[in-house]
Amino acid sequence: MADQFKDIIRKAYSAFNERNIGKALSTMQTDVQWSKAWEGGYISGYNEIKEYWTRQWTEINPIVEPVGFIERENGSLEVKVHQHVKDLQGNLLFDGLVKHIYTFQDGLIKTMDIELFDEEKSFQDNKVSAKNDEQFVIPDECGDTLWDAVLKQEEEKDRQAAEEKK
């Protein structure tokens, strides 16, 4: 069942990045509950999501890619997401990792919530972070290129932090 949910998630993210609202909504229950990270709060249903995304895309250009999945004990699916957000002039606003937490009903997304990703996590060569007993796995289909990019970004943050301390 987890593979089915991962396929649904990949389809939803792909559609979002293509700005294909209809295709994205086809992965969700009609009464889906959705976190509005950009504005705060929550929305419910297709019309509110369509309005929210349409407003969002008039001000920012987000690209989101799922890079790892963890099934939680409560049955929800935690998705590690690389989020790359620019303003409409192309200036980088955010480039980092977030957690999107999904529940499903009848094979479709029922709820989506957002949790902060712990920036202090240390990435290890085996592609697993085990700080705080939490696992972060880059799936093989993402390839080493994505993993190398994540490592490079983390190394750059560490270098900048060290320079600021001097």
CATH of span 2-117: 3.10.450.50
Q: List, as one string, the DSSP characters of the chain.
A: -HHHHHHHHHHHHHHHHHT-HHHHHTTEEEEEEEE-TTTSSEEESHHHHHHHHHHHHTTEEEEEEEEEEEE-TTS-EEEEEEEEEEETTS-EEEEEEEEEEEEEETTEEEEEEEEE--TTPPP-TTSEE-GGG--EE--GGGHHHHHHHHHHHHHHHHHHHHHHH-
pLDDT in tens, the chain (166 residues): 578 899 999 999 999 999 999 999 999 999 999 999 878 899 999 999 999 999 999 999 999 999 999 999 999 999 999 999 999 999 999 999 999 999 999 999 999 999 877 654 433 333 333 333 333 444 444 444 444 554 555 666 677 777 877 7
